A and B are shown apart, each in its own frame.
Chain A
Amino acid sequence: MSTLVALARAQALAAGRAQPIATVRHLHVHDQPLVLIPLAMAGEANAPLAALVGDDPAAPRLLVVNQPRNRDERFAFFAGLAEVIVPYLDSFADATEAVPVDRGRDVRHRFVDAPQVWVPNPGGADFLRLLGRSTRFRRTDGDHPVPAAVPLLGQWLTFLASSAEVPGSALLVNAVQALGLHWVTGQSAAEDAHFGSLFAWITDGPAAARSAETGPVAGPATDPEFDNKVLAPLIASASPALVPELRALLMPTWDRMWRSIALLRDLPVGERVGSRWDSDRDAYSAYVAHLTEDGTPQPRRDGAVAAAARLQRLENAAARYAVQRAFDDPLVMAEHRLTGAAFGGVVTLAKADRIDDSGKRPVLRPRIMVATTETVRVEPGASLTSPSRPAQKAKVISVSPTVTGADVVLELSGGMGRKLVAEPGSVPAIGEQLLLTTLSEAYRPGAAFPDPADTPWTHGGPPLHHGDSAVE
């Protein structure tokens, strides 16, 4: 929690109104998202009770398990869910575009769009992950066959849930996190985790949030009181009133979900959001290809090499996401300015035509001096970048304290054209307001991991069999 965000929370509490913590939207919002609100049966290991699902706000589809312990009903529910979700997910595997790879020597194709599924909260995403786990290994033949769509649904849900772990991915979005990325309320994070309460705070203020707290839950867990007083008698008597009761419970959340999406859609989109959605389309395209070619379900647990590679991808994505958000949004960058990882100042000296000829060939290395009143926590030799010129590197030559702050001398390289004279405007001019940061968008190369067959003994040795597709 940065002091900047904490201050925004205090301001929200004092004003009784949610405060922005972003000036742009950091999330791709789809034109045609699918909303899914799952409800779980208390006590059971991830047994579904109901789901409200659909891509049309006016036409939600309610799926209910009337007798949660009945195995056939449960799989009928999965089949019903697959009927709605799988065609939606498939519908984007249509038009493709060519993307140059290998420095333009080759092209690969990816779909021009990808699906986006919204759930209310992180619990909902986790529930989908476990639903995926419990269905993707099911057999469509043998003793207890399930409908053919069920294992496919499981694979898709597993794909969505694991992509949700990638920071900045927007294939599976939870509304609590999406709203919390852009606004803070005057209540604690624990209270914000309740989707209804968070949404009410943002749209109508604290009093509405308090009353939403005791209102209908956003799942997947149900309220024990509701279980005992409403659900239990209805299930025990196999009452037809169960369906309307569950619909009434889920509808407020359904409306809030669509209103949340609209609220976020209204924000101006951040510059780098598109490139993250490109990565999502890559992931989607690759998974569609996997399903048509090989189609084996994801293993229960990753092997050592796959796990290490995945961890590194997640770390890179997290770093990239943090930097991109800061570069897109001055309010996010302000958090880094507060900690000294970035500072703003005015250019007081600039020598744009400075040539460094100490090497074999003379190179253009302009120097500038920036006067700042902010905390500067960089050492000489550090490499900085500026969001306004991301391709240019600024090496810190010296930092000298002044009465009001510090004078920082920087040597620039890159982003000035190929000649020994800088392109006009590529070197900051005297008087220009400049923001410099240690954050860098530079490409991070992936580490080299051994082939799974060469897994070292320290990591369990080579796996005994590839692709654990064992069936329970």
Chain B
Amino acid sequence: MSQTDRLRGSAPGKRHNARTVAALTGNPGCTRRAVLDAAGVDKVRLAERIGFPGAFGQSRFALARGNAFEAMLKADDCALLRTTLGAYVGGYEDLGADEDDTLTVRNARTRAVLAAGAEGLLDHPLLTLDVAGQTVFLEPDLIAYQNGTQLQVVEIKSFAIIDGQADGAAVSAAAVQAAVYVLALRRLLGDDRVSHEVVLVCPENFSMQPVAVVIDVRKQLSTLRRQLSRLASVSSLIEALPAEVSFDDAQPVPSLLSSLDTLTARYAPECLSTCEMSVYCRHEATGRTEVLGRPVREALGGVETVDEVLALAAGTQSPRPEQAEAAALLRAAQRLRDEALGR
């Protein structure tokens, strides 16, 4: 039994997907998330067990619409998708069937088909990516479109593009996910075989008519590469953990909490929308300036706890040499606030 299996316990492992890789690179300093993801721990379940559940569902209306849109595009040998992309030549192959035991088979098949490089559309290819010293399978949700000598990533999304504009958060999330796929494909086939321009297929305006938009993800790619290289090697982190650390579902809550304690988290309010453990981490960070958000923490001169901030501002604590500048600013701020509020 490997270290990671021991950490996870008896439950089946959760696999990485583009979304989890994107979230991981969004907060590369967080050891807790890196280790839990590497071990494939079910974080939703874990957060529920320790009494800090988050809300991470997806509305079935949104799912239904997304599925309907995708089905519409792929009907009749992808007739509508082909029209939208202008991809009339070549075949269409779906490497779907999302079963655990077929992972390696699917991956091998994906490699073979992609290496052959025949023109056409390839749905649900199974890719691998090295994340923090581990090879992870990527839950695929894309179509690889072989167009001439280059492969292009096509992502079908159900948010609307209205008058050429779409929700900024949705587009940037889609771009980061697409960049994860581009990176995985490039690691497999080589940089020049995979285009840095990805195609987003979305409904246009208030209808279900699809429209294709090309997005350049070079920026996201370089961010991703840099963040991935910064991720500490998770294997060495896991090996350094004490033997009693485990996130097995069967463990009593106090020992789950003490296991979590051995993994340092780096909480930021952004975690609340991306990480299942965030409610617990927020609770743990009570009284620290990071719960107020990164801009606030920076404006406070990076001082770690709220008590320290207030003591420095009131002048009741003498600053350490590196805090001198921040302390002077805080004292001035305190004086100005008191003056304006007549205190």
Contacts and interface: CB of A to CB of B under 8 A. Distances in A.
Interface of A: 1-11, 13-14, 20, 23, 41-46, 68, 130, 133-134, 186-191, 214, 222-225, 227-228, 231-232, 300-301, 330-331, 333-334, 337-338, 374-375, 472
A13 B59 contact: no
Contact of A45 (B203, B333, B341): B203
A45 B205 contact: yes
B292 A188 contact: yes
Nearest to A11: B310
Nearest to B273: A190
Interface in B199-215: 203, 205-207
B160 to A, nearest CB: 3
A236 to B, nearest CB: 10
B285 to A, nearest CB: 11
A66 B309 CA distance: 53
A188 B59 contact: no
Given A4-B337, A9-B292, A45 B330 contact: no
Interface residues of B, number: 52
A207 B333 CA distance: 28
A130 B332 CA distance: 45
Nearest to B334: A7
A44 B336 CA distance: 49
A191 B163 CA distance: 31
Interface of B: 55, 57-66, 158-160, 162-164, 203, 205-207, 269-270, 272-273, 287, 289, 291-293, 295-301, 306-307, 309-310, 313, 329-330, 332-334, 336-337, 339-341
A6 B66 contact: no
Contacts of A41: 61
B203 A8 contact: no
Contacts of A338: 329, 332-333, 336
A3 B333 contact: yes
A189 B59 contact: no
Contact of B158 (A43, A222, A301): A43
B300 A7 contact: yes
A188 B291 contact: yes
A42 B309 contact: no
A228 B58 CA distance: 8
B272 A43 contact: no
B60 A228 contact: yes
25 contacts: A1-B295, A1-B299, A4-B336, A5-B299, A6-B299, A7-B313, A7-B333, A8-B337, A10-B289, A13-B292, A14-B310, A43-B66, A46-B162, A46-B206, A68-B61, A188-B291, A189-B269, A189-B295, A190-B269, A190-B272, A224-B62, A301-B163, A334-B339, A337-B336, A338-B332
A46 to B, nearest CB: 7
Given A45-B205, A228-B59, A334-B339, A10 B272 contact: no
Contacts of A188: 269, 291-293, 296
A93 B270 CA distance: 45
Given A13-B306, A334-B339, A44 B61 contact: yes
B211 to A, nearest CB: 12
Nearest to A375: B332
Contacts of A134: 206
Given A6-B292, A9-B292, A331-B340, 16 more contacts: A10-B292, A13-B292, A14-B310, A43-B61, A43-B63, A45-B160, A130-B162, A187-B292, A188-B269, A188-B293, A189-B295, A190-B272, A225-B55, A330-B339, A334-B336, A338-B329
Nearest to B329: A3
B61 A227 contact: yes
Nearest to B305: A10
Contacts of A375: 332
Given A4-B333, A334-B337, A190 B270 contact: yes
